[in-house]
């Protein structure tokens, strides 16, 4: 039986082994293991690629989100508009600061936050909106920007899944007030461990994040904020510096894989709905997520597994239904029906760079076989 994992880093890491080792050796010899010149070099390269004035390397994507909200002084009593269909970290940072995540529905077309629903849920307590650029495609940035301007809200972009995505040829993470990136190994720029980054054009926010990530200290033992240890390791930055020049190539490979799926699986619509690249947007295909209708999602996933093909359900349970969120949100947040439907129908297929044509053909043939049997 052939085997296709959901995700595999070996095709892109194989050719980088020597550079990884050289990068690690340089750090070991430097004796500089936390922040320092290697992290600064990484920050400069990312800021340049984003077209953003400031980029600050931090410990993870979750911490990048937390720091963004801390820098905006989000606290108890504040409401933050969050999609209910996203990874947990998008909203846990809100609740951890004592603020209230208000659940907003998502659009089936791009899995992004539904501005019309946000319009229904905004209140005098709302301070910010967190659009999550899901699965590698950006949200409707223009609609979000005009909504935020009208209601005087900050935009905290969750860019964890979509580094490199663009709206109107402008990089995500540079649209909002502040952007939070993740370098978790499966991301478009995946590290060899945890890492994250905060990007902004606002010098005051940048300086506050810089301070918050080192326990709120302006200088040694002089703490002006209650910050934390949110520092990026030099080793991680050194490894990310090796991969950063290749990100666009990785995204191109993901885009080619997506195009193959579109052609091969197109005839299966409307049994399944394929994800689409919407006008004005540049999709990076961090995930290739189909919606499987007629209650067939779990059966298809089991069939793929039997045939040696990995797949995943991102995400099977929306955040409004999570046990730890029951007491932190408001009753306004219950109506996210679109998100609940997605949670029952989504299935993500392998799309990583380095996937071979033979593997892609095998996946598509197997999916077609599943529907022929029905």
Ligand X SMILES: Cc1ncc(COP(=O)(O)O)c(C=O)c1O
CA-based nearest residue to 85, from 283, 316, 274:
316
Compute the least distance from the CB of residue 182 to ligand X, in Å. 3
CA R_g for the chain: 21
The residue among 171 and 182 lying less far from ligand X, judged by its C-beta, is 182
Determine how many CB atoms are found less than 10 A away from the CB of residue 150. Answer: 10
Q: What is the 3-state secondary structure (H, E, C) of 236-259?
A: HHHHHHHHHHHHHHHHHHHHHHHH
Please state the separation of Cα 209 from the chain's center in Å.
Answer: 20
Phi/psi for 285 (5° steps) reads 50, 50
CB distance 227 to 70 below 8 Å: yes
The residue among 188 and 366 lying less far from ligand X, judged by its C-beta, is 188
Q: Which residue is nearest to ligand X (CB)?
A: 61
Compute the least distance from the CB of residue 186 to ligand X, in Å. 7
CB distance 38 to 46 below 8 Å: no
User: How many whole angstroms separate alpha carbon 199 and alpha carbon 155?
Assistant: 12
Compute the least distance from the CB of residue 221 to ligand X, in Å. 29
The residue among 160 and 342 lying less far from ligand X, judged by its C-beta, is 160
Please state the separation of Cα 338 from the chain's center in Å.
Answer: 20
User: How many whole angstroms separate alpha carbon 219 and alpha carbon 297?
Assistant: 54
Please enumerate in sequence order all residues whose Cβ is within 8 A of that of 230, keeping only pairs 6 or more positions apart, or say none: 58, 59, 63, 66, 67, 212, 213, 214
In the complex, the residues that contact ligand X under the rule CB under 6 A are: 60-62, 86-87, 89-90, 132, 158, 160-161, 182, 184, 194, 196
Compute the least distance from the CB of residue 222 to ligand X, in Å. 29
Compute the least distance from the CB of residue 250 to ligand X, in Å. 17
CB distance 54 to 46 below 8 Å: no
Compute the least distance from the CB of residue 86 to ligand X, in Å. 5
User: How many whole angstroms separate alpha carbon 133 and alpha carbon 162?
Assistant: 6
The residue among 195 and 227 lying less far from ligand X, judged by its C-beta, is 195
User: How many whole angstroms separate alpha carbon 168 and alpha carbon 371?
Assistant: 37
Compute the least distance from the CB of residue 127 to ligand X, in Å. 19
The residue among 115 and 319 lying less far from ligand X, judged by its C-beta, is 319
The residue among 239 and 360 lying less far from ligand X, judged by its C-beta, is 239
Phi/psi for 218 (5° steps) reads -80, -30
The residue among 148 and 189 lying less far from ligand X, judged by its C-beta, is 189
Mark out the alpha helices in 106-190 (DSSP H runs): 115-121, 141-151
The residue among 182 and 366 lying less far from ligand X, judged by its C-beta, is 182
- For the record, the structure tokens of 265 come out as 């699986």
Compute the least distance from the CB of residue 196 to ligand X, in Å. 5
Please state the separation of Cα 172 from the chain's center in Å.
Answer: 11
The residue among 93 and 118 lying less far from ligand X, judged by its C-beta, is 93
Compute the least distance from the CB of residue 87 to ligand X, in Å. 4
């Amino acid at each position: 039986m052939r085997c296709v994992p959901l995700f595999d880093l070996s095709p892109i890491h194989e050719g980088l082994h020597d550079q990884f080792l050289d990068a690690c050796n340089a750090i070991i010899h430097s004796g500089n293991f936390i922040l320092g010149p290697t992290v600064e070099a990484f920050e400069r390269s990312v800021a340049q690629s984003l077209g953003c004035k400031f980029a600050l390397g931090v410990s993870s994507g979750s911490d990048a989100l937390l720091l963004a909200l801390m820098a905006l002084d989000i606290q108890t009593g504040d409401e933050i508009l969050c999609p209910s269909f996203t990874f947990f970290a998008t909203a846990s940072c809100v609740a951890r600061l004592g603020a209230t995540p208000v659940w907003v529905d998502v659009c089936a077309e791009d899995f992004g936050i539904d501005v019309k629903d946000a319009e229904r849920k905004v209140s005098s307590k709302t301070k910010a909106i967190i659009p999550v650029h899901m699965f590698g495609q950006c949200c409707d940035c223009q609609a979000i920007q005009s909504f935020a301007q009208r209601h005087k809200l900050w935009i905290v972009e969750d860019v964890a899944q979509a580094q490199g995505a663009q709206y109107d040829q402008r990089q995500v993470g540079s649209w909002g007030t502040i952007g939070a990136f993740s370098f978790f190994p499966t991301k478009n720029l995946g590290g060899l461990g945890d890492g994250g980054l905060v990007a902004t054009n606002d010098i005051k926010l940048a300086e506050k994040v810089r301070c918050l990530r080192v326990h709120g200290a302006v200088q040694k033992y002089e703490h002006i904020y209650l910050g934390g240890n949110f520092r990026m390791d030099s080793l991680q930055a050194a490894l990310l510096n090796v991969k950063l020049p290749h990100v666009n190539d990785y995204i191109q490979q993901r885009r080619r894989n997506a195009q193959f799926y579109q052609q091969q699986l197109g005839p299966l619509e409307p049994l399944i709905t394929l994800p689409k690249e919407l006008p004005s947007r540049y999709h990076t295909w961090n995930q290739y997520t189909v919606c499987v209708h007629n209650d067939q999602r779990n059966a298809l996933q089991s069939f793929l597994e039997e045939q040696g093909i990995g797949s995943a359900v991102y995400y099977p349970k929306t955040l409004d239904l999570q046990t730890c969120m029951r007491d932190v949100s408001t009753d306004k947040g219950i109506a996210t029906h679109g998100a609940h439907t997605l949670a029952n129908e989504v299935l993500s297929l392998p799309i990583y760079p380095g996937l071979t044509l033979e593997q892609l053909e095998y996946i598509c043939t197997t999916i077609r076989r599943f529907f022929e049997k029905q």
